[in-house]
Structure 1
Amino acid sequence: MKPSFFVLCSLLTLPAWAQPNPTAPQPTTARPTLTVEKIMQDPKSWIGTAPSNPFWSEDAKTIYFSWNPAKAKSDSLYKISLTADRTPAKVQRPERIALPPASAGTYNRAKTQRLYEKQGDLFWLDTRTGKVRQLTNTVDRESNPTFSGDEQSIVFVRSSNVYRMNLMSGEIAQITNFDAGSKKPDAKPSEQETWLKRDQLSLFEVLKERKEKKDEGDKITKAEKPQQPKPLYTDGRTVTSQTLSPDGKFVTFNLVKTAKDAKTAIVPSYVTETGFTEDLQARTKVGAPASSYEFFVYDVAKDTAIAVSTKDIPGIKDLPDYLKTSKGLVASTDLKPGPADTTKPASLITKPADRKVIIVGPNWSEDGRYGVLVVRSVDNKDRWLMLLDPATRKLKLLDRQRDEAWVGGPGVSWYSALGTLGWVDNQTLYYQSEADGYAHVYTVNVATGEKKQLTKGKFEVQQAQLSKDKKYFFLTTNEVHPGEQHFYRMAVTGGERVKLTTMTGANDVSLSPDETKLLIRHSYSNQPWELYYAELKTDKKGNIQPTQPVKLTSSLTNEFNAYPWREPAVVTIKARDGVDVYGRLYKPANPNGKAVVFVHGAGYLQNAHKWWSQYFREYMFHNLLADKGYTVLDIDYRASAGYGRDWRTGIYRHMGGKDLTDHVDAAQWLVQNHGIDAKRIGIYGGSYGGFITLMAMFTQPGVFAAGAALRPVTDWAAYNHPYTSAILNEPQADSLAYRRSSPIYFADGLKGHLLICHGMVDVNVHYQDVVRLAQRLIELKKDNWELAAYPVEDHGFVEPTSWTDEYKRILKLFEERL
């Protein structure tokens, strides 16, 4: 599942390890012995820490990155000067404080000036000289700085309002005046009050003269006072995405109304500094009342704001297919006895209303003539690119991506981002889409509507950026192999892609600001992440070639390198529906007929690849198991990343369907091809992997003799909204999907031996999930399971003692039950 993926990413990208040179003379000493205690200890204490978060200086002469070769409590900022001896050096505090943020800010069109926010103030950087000018120093936070259309001013946000600062004079002008309250109607005097006032002015000359004098003074004062924007009342709604058009005539913004009756779950924390139980605020559950969004255009000259209507968006009333079809989408034999399906039959659906949407943008062309919005339906089925005319607030369709499952894939935005979207020129917009089944780059002429697909094939474009001169795209794709990532250059018109990386595995490239150098964060299956440097050379014919990459960092300890870490074989397994499933196979030198299948988490994540796994502890554990004679396999089951739209959406309305049968087929493949005893196969995984483990143990009797479900989802109706509603819709509208996807309804099918491990302060998959499942197993009188609770752990464990305890239990389960 996605949230767990991000938690795991932040936790598991710390270490980097390498494989000893296989051609070097091998030591005659005995093979080092791995133990759970050793592999689960603090990674930096004996493994080393990988370089992370690399970025360039503006002059492309220095590389910065986070690193921890000193085994300190946390990483520090390091640098490598490409004009010196290229030795990593720790950045001292004064230099670190003065550095601009690595990725924040915006540039002018020539890329010679950069604006950025740092600690709530605004800064202006000359990229040619490196000179920095601080623009604000206030208590209030200033944010989102951009250049105005004429680049003579900067536009920024302070206290939800849009301001403009003249860069020459420093004058600041307020553009909007949002008021969180509600507009109160002017009190009208009664007939009696009106009559009395008129009578007083007619009776007393002095009152009449004073009123005339006051009125004249007010008129002069009003005429001489600088024009200020009148209040824009938001009625308690939150203002977001404030953007001033390049011509300065319009401000676009969203008003977000938070659902008042959305109940938030609470996670109790028992082991606290105070000695008292403390409640942690967590999240809502899927299907809870959601925030509503409304998009406005504010006309600066007219001082008025009007909402943009979405009623004419093509397909705005189109219902998803699952609502168009009556009950009976799945035969009753597919379900166990349980709550009745409440999916609405077609007869109950009348007069479809306009679907709710979220609007992001606009992204303006350089000349300010065109602004493009990304419009996303809240039901996840549609993503529109719409051209906005701010003067009339009319929308024109440029592209519609419809998916009866859910719109997604690399480069496709979620609610808060535009995704891959930009301008090749003032009429040509580029974007990414899965229109042909894989994430590719497209262009559309916003004036004529002409579209062009620039990349094509059964591979994904995973990242795309436009060169400074707008003549090329720099792309990261997996076209060599689904388990490899390489960096390419391609003309903006499409055509041949020139491969700029050469090392097998993953190549995470940061292009230098002058676009002549590559900073490569590279890894291989058994060689963790290190930094490499290469230059881009252009010959007389204009052909571009990279130089041989030079290694810049070495992160591993001798103790860790002493063990010959395995290179898992990347294999393909034929699933029952004929598709090829990729897997990573760990083969023991002395097989014992037993096998363990590992299930990666996050759902939309890839692990059967040729680069260093995010699951480094699991990788070490698999080496330990192989040393003991186990054959270990982990696969990129249906819904894993890297394989296109059909694979990504293969679990729509049925988690625990194809993603589970892929694992069952993998187990049978082990039996048929690697001499595994069919009665001695175990399965384990965390988060989504824990969910699959439960479904395997509950619904596939006899396939897996033992399973360890770590921090598992037991009932999808208890998980979060953004992730779950995309795959299963909402439980109150599509209860069938939740009914057949949630392990808790199938607990009576448990046959083998089950271990459940869960952190008690997990704010992602709540501990309540396994508590409910435990009660269900108790009521079913099952005695072949156990639950291990970890009082101080969130979704991703951090304490070495917790990791050690958990994996000792997993190893014991497999040793005793397989």
Structure 2
Amino acid sequence: MKKYFLFLLLCTGEYTFAQQIAPLTVEKIMRDPKWMGVAPTDFRWTADSKTLYFNWNPENKAKEELFKISATGNKPVKAAEKEDEKLLGLNYAYNADRSMGLVEKSGDIYLQNFKTGKETRLTNTLERENSPVFLNNDNIVYQAGDNLFEVNLKSAETSQITNFVKGKKPGRPEAKAATEQDKWLKAQQTELFDIIKKRNAESRSTNRGGRGRFGAANGENKPLKELYTDDRFLNSVVISPDGRFVTYKLTTPAQNNHNTVVPNYITASGYTEDIPGRAKVGENESSSQAFIYDTQRDTIYSILTSTIPGIKDLPDYLKDYPKELDTLKKKNADRPVNLFGPLWNDNGSMGVVVAASTDNKDRWILKLDATTGKLSLLDRQRDEAWIGGPGISGYYQGNTGWIDNNHFYYQSEATGYSHLYVVNVATGDKKQLTSGKWEVQTLQLSKDRSTFYLKANKEHPGITNFFKIASNGGELVQLTSMKGLSDITLSPDEKYLAINYSYLNKPGELYLQANKAGAKAVKITQSTSAEFDSYKWREPDMVTFKNRYGADVYARVYKSDNPHPNHPAVVFVHGAGYLQNVHYGWSTYFREFMFNNLLADNGYTVIDIDYTASSGYGRDHRTGIYRHMGGKDLTDQVDGVKFLVEKYGVNPKHVGLYGGSYGGFITLMAMFNESDVFTSGAALRSVTDWAHYNHGYTSNILNEPFNDPIAYKRSSPIYFADKLKGNLLMAHGMVDVNVHFQDIVRITQRFIELGKNNWELAVYPVEDHGFVEPSSWTDEYKRIFKLYENTLKK
């Protein structure tokens, strides 16, 4: 028995000694993050796949340095400065047999012959040339300024394809109907004068004469058709592989918007200076129209969106506004859409356009008939909330492309999770390649187009690994197997994987692995400092609980080895809304991870919840806050507290919460609408009124303030400020160009008018949305810790 007690004493002593070596303080964890060690970043392979370059700072220098390692090596070495510029793999545009490649470097176009190794510089101008591509005839097309130019490699002749002209086409006087007198005079002129007869004959001959795309039949230059842009911006100029069709968009900028300004008070001049800001949600948006220039017919016409299936469909939420719904039904107008593409197959026989409605309720995959501008449906994804999810977006074309001349791939949430699909564009037949209650998060087609490589969370929502599957479907093969988060950089020859791998309490490190199932991943770097390693960072419990709606909610719990007698708890609320923080990898919220460890050291139990609307869990979780932010995402926090009470013995009378940005918004909503659950809250850089946030994010979830005021009123904390009962700390950067300082000022005025006195506002004059200065981080988190110590332990 004495030996047993001696053993316990020694163990206790070792634990105490470990804590004494590296006790956590706010001052320590909020220093310049370099004290922790600097993880490797920016992995890139050389074109021959023999060497991997990356940025790293293992010696804690003023800035990171360039390192390299052989694909089969295990020890990285410093690389010579700018050594990577000549060796790194470039993003080439290839010809059909991939024997030649085109690339832009510093605004000029270069041709690389991979068989001979010879590089030829094709342009050397002050103007920037970009977007080089091969045509099917092996000629080259690139863009310079607004226009496209074609280079014949055999003759070395360069020809201009397009002639975009800024401004409006010059007006012509209206033609008057010819009177009988006019007709008589014209006939008389022709009858009397030989010169008139000659010119009429020349005009008829010219009109009948054959001309090529770039010149007249006799070799003389023909003026190119003028493609007027009016007062719009030209963008997305694309030529078909056969060289016949040029597609482009003309964009009309948003008119009459009221862009915001952010005053900057701490300036070198000593004067307050205004930072130009964004518009607010509901302001006017730019609009675009897509055109086709048929070089063969020398004619221009629009891509027709009026025949897209469902183009007139109205969203379901309008049922809450019967008068407005009736008005819109009578209008029967087409919804505006954004078009991406066309994406052409290799031989140029078919093009696909991705279309997204500007209300973001629909995304269509459409086949383009380039000779008429008509679109026909291949796939439609409708979401009464909003289109989104990995590989899917209303703001770009998403993970899409051609496998061969007939088959086109894309991702869709049709099953509730983002998965991979292939459609035969010629027949319209569709095939789903992946399935299950997990997401395809990244996607890459192999160079020979026989294989898809993808990152997915198949094993667990918080574990990512690398997989492959044949491009025509089949077995999904797992290539990596480490439990955590793995981000992969595939070598150009597709033989090696550079893996940025991290675990719950271990920041990212570089691993190398052969691109084979079952191959071993070899750790290359060790980046954490001795000081960081001296503390035993917790592996939080990875738990799930059922929320009140019966859905599984995932969470991290940081247990305290020595709970305070009050058994207090703190809820950390991650930001961004659509973001995942409950995973087996190192958190982007590394400061909060360390602060949660500090709280646990001081007797608190901490829970970090992937609440409704977090990423990684499929469509229903993603859109669960539609038209009510501060609804299910807030009740998930309350249900998480209930879970802590039942499973971890937390005292429900001593619970606080904190979070930044969206987490700050949830904190405010919790302090106002769940005051019986939360005693204290720290709301950092918080949205207080969604009508004052940006359009792209907010309109997806809440529509627009003028057409869905119900959603805004029930989602904005400023409408509930009168319900504040507990202890509230607010903190905000004064030069925040994302969530403006005005947000926190407005709710502060509400508190003053309501006579509330249990709140505090800390302002940070030099900080934007994401704080930079260690002194600001330290001040902010010392206030949070003090709030909890003074309110949750009493």
- Tell me the TM-score normalized by structure 1: 0.88
Equivalence map 1:59-458=2 (5 Å) = 59-82=48-71, 86-93=75-82, 95-99=83-87, 104-126=91-113, 131-150=118-137, 152-186=138-172, 224-326=219-321, 344=324, 346=326, 349-415=329-395, 417-458=396-437
Q: Find the counterpart in structure 2 of residue 745 from structure 1.
A: 719
Q: Structure 1 81/135 Cα, relative in aligned 2: closer, same or farther at 3 Å?
A: farther
2:67–2:76 CA contact under 8 A, matched in 1: no
Is the counterpart of residue 617 in structure 1 residue 605 in structure 2?
no
1:383–1:407 CA contact under 8 A, matched in 2: yes
Q: Structure 1 733/215 Cα, relative in aligned 2: closer, same or farther at 3 Å?
A: closer
Deviation at 1:586, TM superposition (A): 0.6
Equivalence map 1:294-693=2 (5 Å) = 294-326=289-321, 344=324, 346=326, 349-415=329-395, 417-537=396-516, 545-592=517-564, 593-693=567-667
Q: In 2, Cα distance between the equivalents of 1:56 and 1:348?
A: 54
Q: Find the counterpart in structure 1 of residue 11 from structure 2.
A: none
1:324–1:346 CA contact under 8 A, matched in 2: no
Structure 2 residues without counterparts, runs of 5 or longer: 1-13, 210-214
Q: Structure 1 84/326 Cα, relative in aligned 2: closer, same or farther at 3 Å?
A: closer
SS at match of 1:263: coil
SS at match of 2:151: strand
Residues 649-683 of structure 1: CA distance to partner in whole angstroms, max 9, x if unpaired? 00000000000000011111111221111121111
1:88–1:553 CA contact under 8 A, matched in 2: no
Which region of structure 1 is more displaced relative to structure 2, 404-413 or 378-387?
404-413
Deviation at 1:205, TM superposition (A): 10
Q: In 1, Cα distance between the equivalents of 2:554 and 2:344?
A: 42
Q: 1:57 aligns with which of 38, 42, 46?
A: 46
Please tell me the root mean square deviation across aligned C-alpha atoms, in Å: 3.0
1:59–1:127 CA contact under 8 A, matched in 2: no
Deviation at 1:217, TM superposition (A): 14
Residues 333-356 of structure 1: CA distance to partner in whole angstroms, max 9, x if unpaired? xxxxxxxxxx83546742321000
Q: In 1, Cα distance between the equivalents of 2:233 and 2:770?
A: 32
Q: In 1, Cα distance between the equivalents of 2:224 and 2:38?
A: 54
Q: In 2, Cα distance between the equivalents of 1:674 and 1:291?
A: 52
Q: In 2, Cα distance between the equivalents of 1:448 and 1:724?
A: 38
Give the total of aligned pairs: 766
Q: How high is the sequence identity, in percent, across the aligned residues? A: 54
Q: Structure 1 614/227 Cα, relative in aligned 2: closer, same or farther at 3 Å?
A: same
Deviation at 1:312, TM superposition (A): 1.0
SS at match of 1:480: strand
Residues 192-242 of structure 1: CA distance to partner in whole angstroms, max 9, x if unpaired? xx99x999x99x999999999999999999765323422111111111111
Q: In 1, Cα distance between the equivalents of 2:470 and 2:194?
A: 81
Q: Structure 1 109/783 Cα, relative in aligned 2: closer, same or farther at 3 Å?
A: farther
Q: Structure 1 345/309 Cα, relative in aligned 2: closer, same or farther at 3 Å?
A: closer
Q: Residue type of the partner of 2:637?
A: H
SS at match of 1:478: strand
Q: In 1, Cα distance between the equivalents of 2:92 and 2:250?
A: 24
Deviation at 1:366, TM superposition (A): 1.6
Deviation at 1:619, TM superposition (A): 0.7
Residues 272-320 of structure 1: CA distance to partner in whole angstroms, max 9, x if unpaired? 1222111111111111011011111111122222111211111111100
Deviation at 1:324, TM superposition (A): 3.7
Q: Find the counterpart in structure 2 of residue 338 from structure 1.
A: none
Q: In 1, Cα distance between the equivalents of 2:682 and 2:139?
A: 59
1:125–1:131 CA contact under 8 A, matched in 2: yes
1:182–1:236 CA contact under 8 A, matched in 2: yes
Q: Find the counterpart in structure 2 of residue 8 from structure 1.
A: none
Q: Structure 1 27/696 Cα, relative in aligned 2: closer, same or farther at 3 Å?
A: closer
Q: Residue type of the partner of 2:332?
A: P
1:442–1:455 CA contact under 8 A, matched in 2: yes
SS at match of 1:485: strand
Q: 2:30 aligns with which of 40, 56, 59?
A: 40
Q: In 2, Cα distance between the equivalents of 1:480 and 1:595?
A: 30
- Tell me the TM-score normalized by structure 2: 0.91
Deviation at 1:83, TM superposition (A): 5.9
Q: In 1, Cα distance between the equivalents of 2:445 and 2:73?
A: 30
Between 1 and 2, higher relative CO (CA 8 Å, sep ≥ 6) is seen in: 1
Q: Find the counterpart in structure 1 of residue 5 from structure 2.
A: none
Q: In 2, Cα distance between the equivalents of 1:613 and 1:189?
A: 71
Is the counterpart of residue 711 in structure 1 residue 679 in structure 2?
no
Q: In 2, Cα distance between the equivalents of 1:641 and 1:377?
A: 23
1:78–1:90 CA contact under 8 A, matched in 2: yes
SS at match of 2:463: coil
Q: Residue type of the partner of 2:548?
A: R
1:413–1:420 CA contact under 8 A, matched in 2: no
Q: Residue type of the partner of 1:141?
A: R
Q: Structure 1 100/231 Cα, relative in aligned 2: closer, same or farther at 3 Å?
A: farther
2:357–2:394 CA contact under 8 A, matched in 1: no
Q: Structure 1 75/639 Cα, relative in aligned 2: closer, same or farther at 3 Å?
A: same
Which region of structure 1 is more displaced relative to structure 2, 439-448 or 74-83?
74-83
Deviation at 1:521, TM superposition (A): 0.9
Structure 1 residues without counterparts, runs of 5 or longer: 1-24, 328-342, 538-544
SS at match of 1:608: coil
Residues 707-742 of structure 1: CA distance to partner in whole angstroms, max 9, x if unpaired? 111111111111111111111111111111111101
Residues 338-387 of structure 1: CA distance to partner in whole angstroms, max 9, x if unpaired? xxxxx835467423210000000111112221111001000100000000
Q: Residue type of the partner of 2:231?
A: G
SS at match of 1:707: strand
Which region of structure 1 is more displaced relative to structure 2, 169-178 or 424-433?
169-178
Deviation at 1:96, TM superposition (A): 3.6
1:58–1:127 CA contact under 8 A, matched in 2: no
Q: Structure 1 521/129 Cα, relative in aligned 2: closer, same or farther at 3 Å?
A: farther
Q: Structure 1 173/614 Cα, relative in aligned 2: closer, same or farther at 3 Å?
A: same
2:131–2:142 CA contact under 8 A, matched in 1: yes
